[in-house]
Amino acid sequence: MKFYKKPIFTGFSPNLTLSDTFTACGFLFLPWKWATLRMGGAQKKVEVWLEKYFESKHAYNYDSGRTALNHALKACEIKEDDEILVQSYTCMVVSNAITWTGAKPIYVDIKNDFNMDSDDLEKKITDKSKVLIIQHTFGKPADLKSLIAIAKKHNLKIIEDCAHSFGAKQDGKLLGTFGDIGMFSFGSDKILSCVRGGGLITNDDEISKKLQEFQSRLPLARKLKVIQHLFHYIAFAKGKPLYNLGVGKWILGTSKKLNLMNRVIYNPEKHGKQVIFYPSLLPNSLATILLKQFKTFDSINKHRQEVAKLYDQQITNSKIIKPDWSDESVWLRYTLLVENPTKLHVIAKKQGIILGNWYNQAIAPRDVELGKSGYKVGSCPNADKLSNQSINLPTNRHITKRDAEKIIAIINRYGN
Ligand SMILES: Cc1ncc(COP(=O)(O)O)c(C=O)c1O
């Protein structure tokens, strides 16, 4: 029996590098850097980089994707009781970004590719519909042609939720540039990450003016929060390699318990409430890390596509449903459908592999107060069904061909 099994993660800050950790340590431990923890030139550089990369007239950054989405909606001048069309099979923080504006989320069902079903969208539009949020789930472009045509017919503003799809294209055009506003998340499990951050792009001068005004009213992130974000790098850099020995699990668990690290979603958010320390501006220290990630993410997206291709070619188990292959997806996660995801999670964990559970409920995670999201179970039957069967395989930069083959072998044995 092997004493040490290399841990393989799907989530757990998959983009984290030694270089990011050094940068974080610099901000934490070098006194002359403390003045630039929250303020400095990096935030502006991130915005300029986004404008250049997307050939967009305006870009703004924030403490998170959820804040970005909330500001995008407010910039569309929605009023209380307006209806925002959004797909089910999403995260509670997306619902919150809508409900915090006073508007009402109207959930649209998904197709088997985890993206919005345009037939169901048509059925859910009313006189109160104002904005359509198009989510490109797991990095695969949604059916933009149909969805945009419907939005235009009904005079809806379009926000593209590119939280999973930074760098993905449809017909050679970057996602995020099809609608009125493109929204991005730089959270710890995303294509690009600085633990917590978000961005918006737009070519609309009127929308931009409002975004600028809202952003100018945001406070700086609290110092303690920034320190917690930076400590995340140390805890994960130490905890991940030792995870399968138990020590790593202890490091991560204890850091969380002692509040040394931030959480992806706070308890009040699970109940539809805002937390007092957000929203805020993107801290300079995190923006510095993000700027470094901009340099490498294109090659990492290629790596993700190569790993996904291996899964596509070598998973042959007839008890498993694979996603349809798409060259246009950046495959943030490769999501399978299985009858009993819990069983597969347990089998993989015994081999030191932590698979992902996005999304395990139509509005995830499972411990949210669903009533506060406005979602009624049964209103989007395909999202209910697929969320009960979903399990994600990792595609991140740390997954080698050997790791992928190990995962494939487990998947192919499942149920046989
Ligand atoms: C589809 C989607 N949109 C938006 C967000 C919000 O991003 P953030 O976590 O940066 O607030 C998430 C969060 O995971 C998400 O999954």
Q: For residue range 5-37, what is the model confidence (pLDDT) as tens digits?
A: 789 999 999 999 999 999 999 999 999 999 999
Q: For residue range 226-285, what is the model confidence (pLDDT) as tens digits?
A: 999 999 999 999 999 999 888 999 999 999 899 899 899 999 999 999 998 899 999 999
Could you tell me which of 358, 363, 332, 361 has the C-alpha nearest to residue 345? 358
The answer, yes or no, to whether any atom of ligand 1 lies below 6 A from the CB of 94, is yes
Same-domain check for residues 142 and 46: yes
Full domain range(s) for residue 164: 35-216
Query: What is the arithmetic mean of pLDDT over 195-222?
Result: 97
The residue out of 162, 195, 216 marking a domain boundary is 216
The answer, yes or no, to whether any atom of ligand 1 lies below 6 A from the CB of 394, is no
What CATH number corresponds to the domain at position 394? Answer: 3.90.1150.10
Same-domain check for residues 193 and 61: yes
The answer, yes or no, to whether any atom of ligand 1 lies below 6 A from the CB of 199, is no
Same-domain check for residues 301 and 212: no
221, part of any domain: no
The residue out of 167, 192, 216 marking a domain boundary is 216
What CATH number corresponds to the domain at position 103? Answer: 3.40.640.10
Same-domain check for residues 85 and 177: yes
- The number of angstroms, rounded, from the C-alpha of 191 to the middle of its chain's C-alpha atoms is 8
Same-domain check for residues 198 and 331: no
Q: What's the pLDDT score for residue 3?
A: 66
Query: What is the arithmetic mean of pLDDT over 198-211?
Result: 98
Structural contact between residues 357 and 391, judged by C-beta atoms closer than 8 angstroms: yes
Residue 95 CA to ligand 1 centre (angstroms): 10
- The number of angstroms, rounded, from the C-alpha of 339 to the middle of its chain's C-alpha atoms is 25
Residue 109 CA to ligand 1 centre (angstroms): 18
Residue 346 CA to ligand 1 centre (angstroms): 26
* Confidence band of 287 (pLDDT split at 50, 70, 90): very high
Please name the residue whose Cα sits nearest to atom 2 of ligand 1.
163
The answer, yes or no, to whether any atom of ligand 1 lies below 6 A from the CB of 182, is no
Same-domain check for residues 200 and 320: no
Q: What's the pLDDT score for residue 2?
A: 63
12, part of any domain: no
Q: For residue range 40-69, what is the model confidence (pLDDT) as tens digits?
A: 999 999 999 999 999 999 999 999 999 999
The answer, yes or no, to whether any atom of ligand 1 lies below 6 A from the CB of 88, is no
Q: What's the pLDDT score for residue 1?
A: 53
256, part of any domain: no
245, part of any domain: no
Q: What's the pLDDT score for residue 245?
A: 87
Same-domain check for residues 212 and 302: no
382, part of any domain: yes
Percent of the chain with pLDDT over 70: 99
Same-domain check for residues 73 and 195: yes
50, part of any domain: yes
The answer, yes or no, to whether any atom of ligand 1 lies below 6 A from the CB of 293, is no
Same-domain check for residues 50 and 193: yes
Q: What's the pLDDT score for residue 230?
A: 97
- The number of angstroms, rounded, from the C-alpha of 131 to the middle of its chain's C-alpha atoms is 20
Same-domain check for residues 212 and 120: yes
The answer, yes or no, to whether any atom of ligand 1 lies below 6 A from the CB of 139, is no
Q: What's the pLDDT score for residue 244?
A: 87
Q: How many domains does the chain have?
A: 2
Q: What's the pLDDT score for residue 140?
A: 98
The residue out of 197, 216, 235 marking a domain boundary is 216
* Average pLDDT value over all residues in the chain: 96
246, part of any domain: no
- Which residues, other chains included, contact 293 with Cβ-Cβ below 8 Å and sequence gap of 6+? 15, 20, 192, 193, 194
Query: What is the arithmetic mean of pLDDT over 132-159?
Result: 98
Query: What is the arithmetic mean of pLDDT over 386-403?
Result: 97
Residue 81 CA to ligand 1 centre (angstroms): 23
Q: Which of the listed residues 13, 66, 269 should we mutate to test ligand 1's pocket, taking the one with most ligand atoms within 8 A of CB?
A: 66
The answer, yes or no, to whether any atom of ligand 1 lies below 6 A from the CB of 230, is no
Residue 353: what are its φ and ψ, rounded to 5°? Answer: -115, 125
- The number of angstroms, rounded, from the C-alpha of 321 to the middle of its chain's C-alpha atoms is 23
267, part of any domain: no
